[in-house]
C-alpha cells in the first residue's frame, strides 16, 4: 500500500521528533511491504520566518492533497511579540480549520514501567488506566460570539457557548466508533444540571447511542469527572465531551500519566485523513540539543496508521516496541524521574525503538 504523508515539522523540537517518527515509519513500511512518501511543508514560526505567514497556502494545499498529516509542534518566545493574527499558533488553528478537523482523540495511558512517576496514590496506580479522551474541536465557547460591554457593575466581558445537534451527533459517532476499537464503553461528560447546551448534548448523545447497541453509554457531570479522573481513572474507557471541558480534562488526564512527553493525539474530520501530533509543546529551551523525547510523536504516527490507514498490525508493532523500550529501562531526560537511570537522547531513543519493531 502506498500513502502520501505531509510533514509539518514546525518549531523548537518539532523537526527532531518528526524526523524520529519518519525513521520509524520507514522501517514499518519496509517490514510490512508499504511505501510512504513524505513531503515537508512550513507551518508556525518557521513559516513566518520564511514567508511572513504562519500558514502558507502551499501548506494548506499540500495537506489537503495528502493521505495524512504528521505535525511536530509550533511556537516559541521568538514570535511572542507578534500580533495575534501572525502568531505561530494561528497556523495550527488554521490548518485544523482548513482540514475540517472537529474531533480530537487524546489517549492517556499509564505505562507500568513509569508507574513510579504517576502522582496518584499507590493503590490507584496499581489498578492502571488506559483511556481515550474524545474532544469536540471546532465548536462551543471557544468559537462563540464574544465581546465587551458596559454592564451592571461597570465594564464586563462575555463569551457564548452554542452547539448544534449536527455538531454533537458527529462527535458522538466518533466516540462510539473509537469505543468499538477499544473496550466498548463511552462516558459522556456535560453540565446538564445547569447548561442548556449540555442538555442538548446529553439528549443527542443518548439518541446516537441507540445506533451502537454493542457499546455501553453513561453520563457524568464535568465536576464529578474531574474528581473521578484522580480518584479512579481505571473506570474510563472512552470519554466524549465539549471543546472547553475536553481541553481541561485532557490536560488533567495527561498529568496523571506521569509525563506529558509520552502522549500522542489525533485530530479527525469527515475523512480519514487527519492530523496527528504530540500533545506537548515545542520546548524551545532544548531544541537542537538531542534531548527531546520522540515517543509521543512516534505514538502519534502509530495512531495515524491505525485511524487514517486502518493498519492495525503496523500500529500495534510500534506501540509494542515503545512498551518494550520502557520495560527495558531506557529513558529520555523527561521520564528518568527518580529512577537513577542515565538518560539518552532523541536519536538514540529512536534507534532503540527501531531495534524492537
* Mean pLDDT in residue range 6-34: 98
**Which residues have C-beta within 8 Å of that of residue 198, sequence separation ≥ 6?**
190, 191, 192, 242
For residue 3, the model assigns a pLDDT of 98
- What is the CATH classification number for the domain harbouring 169? 3.40.718.10
Q: Which stretches within the chain are classed as H helix?
A: 14-32, 44-51, 57-65, 88-98, 122-127, 165-180, 196-209, 222-231, 243-255, 295-307, 312-327, 346-355
Q: Side-chain half-sphere of 188: how many Cα atoms within 13 Å?
A: 28
Catalytic residue among 23, 142, 219, 324: 142
Look up 223 and say whether it is catalytic.
yes
Position 66 pLDDT exceeds 80 = yes
For residue 117, the model assigns a pLDDT of 84
Look up 111 and say whether it is catalytic.
no
Overall number of domains in the chain: 2
Domain that holds residue 10: 1-107+261-357
pTM of this structure: 0.90
Position 259 pLDDT exceeds 80 = no
Residue-wise pLDDT tens digits, 204-257 = 999 999 999 999 999 999 999 999 999 999 999 999 999 999 999 998 998 898
Cell of 9: 515539522
* Residue 76 to residue 144: CA distance in whole angstroms: 27
Residue 175 in any domain: the answer is yes
Look up 251 and say whether it is catalytic.
yes
Catalytic residue among 130, 219, 247, 323: 247
Domain boundary among 256, 287, 318: 256
Is the same domain home to 154 and 252? yes
Residue-wise pLDDT tens digits, 154-193 = 999 999 999 999 999 999 999 999 999 899 999 999 999 9
Residue 243 in any domain: the answer is yes
Residue 137 in any domain: the answer is no
Catalytic residue among 78, 115, 184, 251: 251
Amino acid at each position: 500500500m502506498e500513502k502520501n504523508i505531509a510533514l509539518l515539522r514546525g518549531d523548537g523540537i518539532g523537526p527532531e521528533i518528526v524526523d524520529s517518527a519518519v525513521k520509524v515509519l520507514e522501517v514499518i513500511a519496509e517490514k510490512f511491504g508499504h511505501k510512504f512518501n513524505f513531503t515537508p511543508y512550513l507551518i508556525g514560526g518557521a513559516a513566518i520566518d520564511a514567508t511572513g505567514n504562519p500558514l502558507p497556502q502551499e501548506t494548506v494545499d499540500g495537506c489537503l492533497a495528502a493521505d495524512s498529516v504528521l505535525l511536530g509542534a509550533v511556537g516559541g518566545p521568538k514570535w511572542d511579540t507578534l500580533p495575534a493574527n501572525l502568531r505561530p499558533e494561528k497556523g495550527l488553528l488554521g490548518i485544523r480549520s482548513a482540514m475540517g478537523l472537529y474531533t480530537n482523540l487524546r489517549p492517556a495511558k499509564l505505562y507500568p514501567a513509569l508507574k513510579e512517576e504517576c502522582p496518584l496514590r499507590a493503590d490507584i496506580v496499581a489498578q492502571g488506566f488506559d483511556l481515550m479522551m474524545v474532544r469536540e474541536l471546532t465548536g462551543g465557547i471557544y468559537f462563540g460570539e464574544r465581546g465587551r460591554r458596559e454592564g451592571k457593575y461597570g465594564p464586563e466581558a462575555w463569551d457564548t457557548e452554542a452547539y448544534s445537534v449536527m455538531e454533537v451527533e458527529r462527535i458522538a459517532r466518533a466516540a462510539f466508533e473509537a469505543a468499538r476499537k477499544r473496550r466498548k464503553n463511552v462516558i459522556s461528560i456535560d453540565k446538564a444540571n445547569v447548561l442548556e447546551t449540555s442538555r442538548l448534548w446529553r439528549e443527542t448523545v443518548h439518541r446516537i447511542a441507540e445506533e451502537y447497541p454493542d457499546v455501553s453509554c453513561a453520563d457524568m457531570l464535568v465536576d464529578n469527572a474531574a474528581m473521578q479522573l484522580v480518584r479512579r481513572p481505571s473506570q474510563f474507557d472512552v470519554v466524549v465531551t465539549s471543546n472547553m471541558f475536553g481541553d481541561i480534562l485532557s490536560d488533567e488526564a495527561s498529568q496523571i500519566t506521569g509525563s506529558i512527553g509520552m502522549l500522542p493525539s489525533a485530530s479527525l474530520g469527515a475523512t480519514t485523513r487527519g492530523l496527528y501530533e504530540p500533545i506537548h509543546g515545542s520546548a524551545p529551551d532544548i531544541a537542537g540539543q538531542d534531548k527531546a523525547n520522540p515517543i509521543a510523536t512516534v505514538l502519534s504516527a502509530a495512531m495515524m496508521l491505525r485511524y487514517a490507514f486502518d493498519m492495525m498490525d503496523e500500529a500495534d508493532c510500534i506501540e509494542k516496541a515503545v512498551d518494550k523500550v520502557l520495560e527495558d529501562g531506557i529513558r529520555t531526560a523527561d521520564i528518568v524521574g527518580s529512577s537513577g537511570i542515565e538518560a539518552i537522547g532523541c536519536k538514540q531513543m529512536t534507534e532503540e525503538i527501531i531495534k524492537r519493531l
